[in-house]
Amino acid sequence: MNITFDDIGPAKIIQFYAPQVPFRAFVVIDNTARGPALGGVRVSPEVDLKEVYRLARTMTFKSAVADLPHGGGKSGIIADPKDPDIERIFRTFARMIGNLSDYIPAPDMGCNEDSMAWIHDEIGRVAGLPEEIGGLPLDKLGATGYGVAECAAGACGFAGLELSGARVAIQGFGSVGRAAAHFLAEKKARVVAVSDSRGGVHDPQGLDLEQLFAAKDTKGTVTAFDGGRVIAGEEIFTVDCDILVPAATPDVISAHNAVEIKARLILEGANIPATPQAERLLAERGVLIVPDFIANAGGLIMASLEYARKTEKEAFAAIEEKIRANTRHILEKAKGDGILPREAAERIARERVRSAMRYREYTYS
Ligand code: NAD
């Protein structure tokens, strides 16, 4: 595959193979100038080096924009997360990366707190642990959704909106979507539509969140909630609203449906939910987009604070302070320089990384 080596990385690309188990794995450490690379372990039969290499760069930018003392890295284990031998796979992987002291693994697709605990048991260097051994359960606490709500608080003024009373539509009702709904409602926003993989539900007056959570928990889908009109999944992009939060899968907003979006503000809860073309089209229409690596950084901030042995209270305070400040900073730069917020965020991240690189020499660990 083609790897582009630029002015910041990637510093290390490592492939592992354990024929006795058997499985293969990759680690890409993109840059460690700001601190050891913190990044998730993706476990999937399909994960490949290209995906891991791209995600490692995203982590470098995400940590730098959030102003965390970390660089960016990512790893991939080619395996089925449901493999009966998964504990052995994680423990073997942990021993493989034991000497890579500039990489701190964290949970990603195909991981849970148990898998992080196995890594911890082997090498003692990991984020995303169970509570019993000092972890902050970021999905249970809703760290990323909390960050989305703080991002809304920082961004509304730039879109000419008041968060109190703003109408919100959310695509995806998993860890991120649910917590975003909860914390946005706490700030008096009105959640008017939500969707999951089976469809959505809409009520212009606002949905009763407690009943909605109960319907999702008992029946497995938001469409079982009977307090609103059931809509097709794609309709979430056309409902009348002020704020849209895509919190499901990548590339759901394309040039095709961007024209129908009525929101004035989009907060990217999911990773890369909009194609670059859609982001440009929306900006031309005056829709403000806060990119993923600002809007969904809450989980990363909490993971970083857990690693630094901070408390839940300190982690929430850090998410609030960092995401609000970074949102404003990026949107001011975008406005001042006449560029898209994503470009502004990337420029700031790159500047911070390069500035840290002036004080560091590359070292083998
Ligand atoms: P999750 O698996 O808990 O929830 C995903 C939700 O999306 C589910 O409700 C599912 O039904 C829904 N969904 C799937 N396909 C859909 C579709 N086509 N239309 C509507 N809904 C659909 O996942 P999550 O942890 O909430 O993550 C959501 C997104 O946010 C992912 O892109 C993830 O990479 C990103 N993200 C998550 C975190 C985190 O802390 N969990 C942090 C940063 C980014």
pLDDT in tens, the chain (365 residues): 788 999 999 999 999 999 999 999 999 999 999 999 999 999 999 999 999 999 999 999 999 999 999 999 999 999 999 999 999 999 999 999 999 999 999 999 899 999 999 999 999 999 999 999 999 998 899 999 999 999 999 999 999 999 999 999 999 999 999 999 999 999 999 999 999 999 999 999 999 999 999 999 999 999 999 999 999 999 999 999 999 999 999 899 999 999 999 999 999 999 889 999 999 999 999 999 999 999 999 999 999 999 999 999 999 999 999 999 999 999 999 999 999 999 999 999 999 999 999 988 765 44
pTM of the model: 0.95
Does 105 sit behind a cis peptide bond, omega within 30 degrees of 0 on the bond before it? Answer: no
DSSP type of residue 32 = -
Question: What pLDDT score does 362 carry?
Answer: 62
Atom 28, ligand 1: residue with shortest CA distance: 248
Question: What pLDDT score does 38 carry?
Answer: 97
Q: Is 172 in the pocket of ligand 1 (CB under 6 A)?
A: yes
Q: Is 247 in the pocket of ligand 1 (CB under 6 A)?
A: yes
Question: What pLDDT score does 363 carry?
Answer: 53
Q: Name the residue of 59, 140, 144 to mutate for ligand 1: max ligand atoms within 8 A of Cβ.
A: 144
Q: Name the residue of 41, 44, 108, 175 to mutate for ligand 1: max ligand atoms within 8 A of Cβ.
A: 175
Question: What pLDDT score does 2 carry?
Answer: 81
Q: Is 296 in the pocket of ligand 1 (CB under 6 A)?
A: yes
H helices of the chain, in order, are 49-65, 86-96, 113-123, 138-141, 143-155, 175-186, 209-219, 255-258, 276-284, 292-295, 298-307, 312-337, 341-357
Residues 6+ apart with CB under 8 A from 54: none
Question: What pLDDT score does 250 carry?
Answer: 87
- Give the nearest ligand 1 atom to 109 CA: 34
Does 204 sit behind a cis peptide bond, omega within 30 degrees of 0 on the bond before it? Answer: no
Contact 290, 298 (CB under 8 A): no
Burial 291-312 (b: 16+ CB within 10 A, else e): bbbbbbbbbbbbbbbbbeeeeb
Q: Is 223 in the pocket of ligand 1 (CB under 6 A)?
A: no
* 12 DSSP β-pair partners: 29
Question: What pLDDT score does 360 carry?
Answer: 81
Instruction: List the end-to-end C-alpha distance of the chain, in Å, as a whole number.
Output: 26
Q: Is 199 in the pocket of ligand 1 (CB under 6 A)?
A: no
Question: What pLDDT score does 361 carry?
Answer: 73
Cα 330 from chain centroid (whole Å): 17
Q: Is 173 in the pocket of ligand 1 (CB under 6 A)?
A: yes
Question: What pLDDT score does 152 carry?
Answer: 98
Least Cα distance to 184 among 247, 122, 228 occurs for: 247
Residue that has been written with the tokens 């990384």 in this structure = 353
- Give the nearest ligand 1 atom to 273 CA: 32
The amino acid at residue 258 is A
* Catalytic residue positions, numbered: 74
DSSP type of residue 253 = B
Q: Name the residue of 196, 216, 268, 300 to mutate for ligand 1: max ligand atoms within 8 A of Cβ.
A: 196
